[in-house]
């Protein structure tokens, strides 16, 4: 169906297309005769989704921004929301504002058809109303059960619905007040109707260990147990593996090889070895990647399950792997001291860091030493707690640092952007509860591995490109100039000048200049929001942030399905001397993998937020230093400097003056005292309110500190 729809859209989006009747259009796209019923079914689906329109005279035309648009509805906190339309003629359309009375029964995330009521003018978005929902994001939701007299309700987690949903016969599942439950929506709420659902699962009392994780898994429809046929195949593959069988493989087992991973890592899919010729200055780097494809038959139960999952999911305190542990943590994992199968990328570099040759081999290795990032960083910094190691291993680490630095500097000269977005790392007590949190930054130990993985990914991508083979690339399209201009204007308010926002080297400099300043987070996040999202696609586009014209993922097949597809193409070439793939199939797979990646990221972010808010719920009234990360008419957002959490200081809590919002300077300024709260400023805040249900955190400013002049100032 999808391919037929692509043919129809390609034809009607031609500049020379004029509306014609369906049978004529079918002939134009080569779908006449016996294929005509399939054509009509595809046309009906496109019409339902608002992509095309059939006129009163029965001609087919494309939908446009002046009639109806199809897109994803996102609810706003104050009611109503926006529809983000799909592109027309390849060009994005601005969001359409939907008033609270015009939402019909759409829920956030649904695909809808909306009618444009008034067109966009200046800064004002187009106004519209939702005509129909064509695809529900979900009919199952998670929330907290409660009762009012004889009535039963579920208060849905987050802000997706503004009111509780009535549920019938909760005793059928034994639900009790304050239980976390999953329910199926029978009738979606609308402005006139509360909506109705039925409880399908009771997860446990809110606050009990593990219930928050289970709630997120159900809310995001994350996979749980593997199906029996996939487990059986994984078990057989593991049982049939023999470390002594190296037939058809290059023997790297005598090479000095190491892994560098997080201390809590359970699967190891990359290892490295490196030699350096002191006389010529040439380097020989070998990146070994777990040969997952050897254990996973294409099209089999294990492969089908992995394809559906598309990625491993790393939640706080829990991993949902793409493959069963007998594969991901055992026979495919590059464990220390064990012989393991690999796909190896052997690369030669000259003394300037230019790659002069690359070769791809099916190999076998035995890892000599497993390192944690912290151990390698301690060695690089010559710290007393650095682990003791054999001289040849220490020499290897020094070589690794030298080549990685060379490659990193070379990428910078090409204009690669290094956005530093620190990761929120939770700390757990023995009973599994959050005991604290901290920011985790990328340091040299992370960067050396990143450089070598980038080098291997680029080498494989360029190899397949030179073979003229379609493959699943990792693309990061160039940003829109309007977004870059907006970022430049924002940076200028913080003192970072740029005359040409398209100059990636100036963007690079702004990131570097702000690195050790309070506004670093705001600058790096603002540029990130100005860029497009990286996705998987067979389109021949480069990776903007990496400044790489040709790029793909190859180095993590244990946890990313796109990498496995590239492994299979390389293996096909190794066996037959050629490789191939069907572009339309790759396009659909790329969309699926990109969507599953976004789902995993959102689930991880949401559970981290929930656990942090639960941790802070017992600390209401505590005072902390913070940095302003966003400013709006209704207040400002601030991020604590010692905990990775952001909250809102509402304008109502700035009660010492009347504050006006200045968009150009991203600030709130008091009329009487002239005190200003500007993005990047350091402030003292107090934890005022934690709403676990809506997942919101409110701060209030510590006004006595502000009056003393110790807050609201630039460092």
3-state helix, strand, coil in the chain (%, to 5): 30, 30, 40
Tens of pLDDT, residue by residue over 675-702, are: 889 888 889 999 999 999 889 999 999 9
For the beta carbon of residue 7, count every other beta carbon within 10 angstroms.
17
Please tell me the distance from the alpha carbon of residue 564 to that of residue 132, in angstroms, as a whole number: 39
The answer to whether domain 2-62 and domain 140-219 are alike in fold is no
pLDDT for 2: 61
**Closest among 134, 138, 136 to 218, alpha carbons compared:** 138
The whole-number pLDDT of residue 598 equals 94
pLDDT reading at 57 higher than 80: no
Supply the CATH classification number for the domain 617-707. 2.40.50.140
Q: Which two tokens stand for residue 244?
A: 């002594």
pLDDT digits (tens, 9 = 90+) for 229-278: 999 999 999 999 999 999 999 999 999 999 999 988 888 999 999 999 99
CATH of 68-135, one of 2.40.50.140, 3.40.630.30, 2.102.10.10, 3.40.50.2000: 2.40.50.140
Q: Regarding the domain delimited by 140-219, which CATH topology (the fold level of the hierarchy) does it fall under?
A: OB fold (Dihydrolipoamide Acetyltransferase, E2P) (2.40.50)
Q: Which fold has domain 2-62?
A: Arc Repressor Mutant, subunit A (1.10.10)
Task: Report the pLDDT averaged over residues 414-443.
Answer: 87
Exposure string of 649-658, with b = 16+ CB inside 10 Å and e = fewer, is: bebebbeeee
What is the arithmetic mean of pLDDT over 384-404?
95
Average pLDDT over residues 509-528: 87
Please tell me whether residue 269 adopts helix, strand or coil conformation.
Answer: coil
Q: pLDDT of 180-216, one tens digit each?
A: 999 999 999 888 888 999 999 999 998 888 999 999 9
Read off φ and ψ for residue 429, nearest 5 degrees: -85, 175
Burial (CB count within 10 angstroms: exposed 0-12, middle 13-18, buried 19+), residue 458: buried
Query: What is the band of 315 on the pLDDT scale with cuts at 50, 70, 90?
Result: very high
CA 344 to chain centre: 28
The 10s digit of each residue's pLDDT in 132-187 is 888 888 899 999 999 998 899 999 998 888 889 999 887 788 899 999 999 999 99
What's the pTM?
0.84
Mean pLDDT, the chain, rounded, equals: 89
Domain locations in the chain as residue ranges? 2-62, 68-135, 140-219, 228-473+549-602, 617-707
Confidence of residue 66 (pLDDT cuts 50, 70, 90): low
């Amino acid at each position: 169906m999808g391919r037929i729809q692509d043919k129809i859209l390609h034809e009607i989006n031609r500049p020379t297309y004029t509306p014609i009747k369906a049978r004529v259009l079918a002939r134009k796209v080569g779908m006449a005769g016996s294929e005509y019923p399939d054509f009509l079914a595809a046309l009906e689906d496109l019409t339902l989704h608002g992509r095309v329109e059939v006129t009163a005279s029965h001609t087919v035309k494309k939908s446009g921004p002046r009639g109806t648009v199809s897109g994803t509805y996102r609810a706003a906190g104050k009611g109503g929301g926006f529809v983000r339309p799909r592109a027309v003629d390849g060009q994005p359309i601005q969001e359409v504002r939907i008033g609270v009375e015009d939402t019909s029964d759409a829920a956030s995330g649904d695909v809808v058809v909306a009618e444009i009521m008034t067109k966009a003018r200046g800064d004002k978005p187009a106004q519209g109303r939702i005509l129909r929902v064509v695809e529900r994001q979900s009919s199952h939701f998670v929330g907290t059960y409660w009762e009012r007299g004889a009535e039963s309700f579920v208060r849905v987690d987050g802000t997706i619905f503004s009111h509780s949903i009535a549920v019938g016969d909760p005793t059928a599942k034994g639900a009790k007040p304050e239980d976390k439950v999953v329910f199926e929506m029978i009738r979606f709420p609308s402005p006139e109707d509360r909506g109705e659902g039925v409880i399908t699962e009771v997860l446990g009392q809110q606050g009990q260990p593990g219930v928050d994780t289970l709630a997120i898994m159900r809310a995001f429809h994350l996979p749980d147990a593997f199906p029996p046929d996939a487990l059986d195949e994984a078990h057989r593959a593991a049982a049939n593996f023999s470390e002594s069988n190296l037939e058809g493989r290059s023997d790297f087992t005598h090479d000095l090889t190491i892994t560098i991973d997080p201390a809590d890592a359970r699967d190891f899919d990359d290892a490295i070895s490196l030699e350096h010729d002191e006389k010529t200055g040439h380097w020989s780097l070998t990146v070994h990647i777990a040969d997952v494809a050897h254990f996973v038959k294409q099209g089999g139960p294990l492969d089908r399950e992995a394809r559906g999952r598309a990625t491993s999911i790393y939640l706080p305190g829990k991993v949902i792997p793409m493959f069963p542990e007998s594969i991901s943590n055992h026979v495919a994992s590059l464990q220390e001291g064990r012989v393991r199968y690999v796909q190896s990328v052997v690369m030669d570099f000259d003394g300037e860091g230019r790659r002069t040759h690359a070769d791809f081999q099916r190999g076998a290795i035995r890892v000599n030493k497993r390192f944690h990032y912290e151990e390698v960083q301690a060695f690089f910094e010559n710290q007393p707690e650095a682990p003791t190691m054999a001289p040849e291993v220490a020499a290897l680490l020094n070589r690794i640092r030298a080549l990685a630095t060379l490659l990193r500097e070379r990428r910078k000269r090409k204009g690669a952007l290094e956005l530093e977005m620190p990761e929120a790392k939770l700390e757990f007590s023995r009973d599994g509860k959050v005991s604290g949190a901290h920011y985790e930054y990328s340091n040299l130990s992370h960067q050396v591995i990143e450089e070598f993985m980038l080098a291997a990914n680029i080498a494989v991508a360029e190899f397949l490109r030179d073979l003229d083979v379609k493959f699943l690339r990792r693309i990061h399209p160039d940003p829109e100039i309007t977004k870059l201009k907006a970022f430049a204007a924002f940076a200028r308010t913080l003192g970072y000048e740029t005359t040409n926002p398209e100059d990636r080297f100036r963007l690079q400099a702004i990131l570097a200049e702000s690195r050790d300043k309070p506004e670093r987070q705001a600058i790096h996040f603002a540029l990130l929001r100005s860029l497009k999202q990286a996705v998987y696609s067979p389109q021949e586009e480069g990776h903007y942030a990496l400044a790489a014209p040709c790029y793909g993922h190859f180095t993590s097949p244990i946890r990313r399905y796109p990498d496995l597809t590239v492994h299979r193409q390389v293996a096909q070439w190794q066996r037959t001397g050629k490789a191939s793939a069907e572009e339309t199939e790759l396009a659909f797979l790329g969309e699926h993998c990109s969507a599953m990646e976004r789902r995993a990221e959102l689930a991880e972010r949401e559970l981290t937020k929930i656990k942090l808010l639960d941790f802070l719920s017992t600390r209401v009234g505590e005072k902390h230093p913070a940095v302003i990360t966003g400013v709006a008419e209704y207040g400002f957002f601030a991020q604590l400097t010692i905990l990775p959490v952001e909250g809102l200081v509402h304008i109502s809590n700035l009660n010492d003056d009347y504050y006006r919002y200045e968009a150009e300077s991203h600030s709130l300024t008091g009329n009487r005292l002239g005190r200003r709260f500007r993005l990047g400023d350091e402030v003292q805040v107090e934890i005022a309110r934690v709403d676990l249900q809506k997942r919101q955190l409110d701060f209030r400013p510590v006004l006595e500190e502000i009056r003393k002049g110790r807050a609201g100032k630039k460092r």
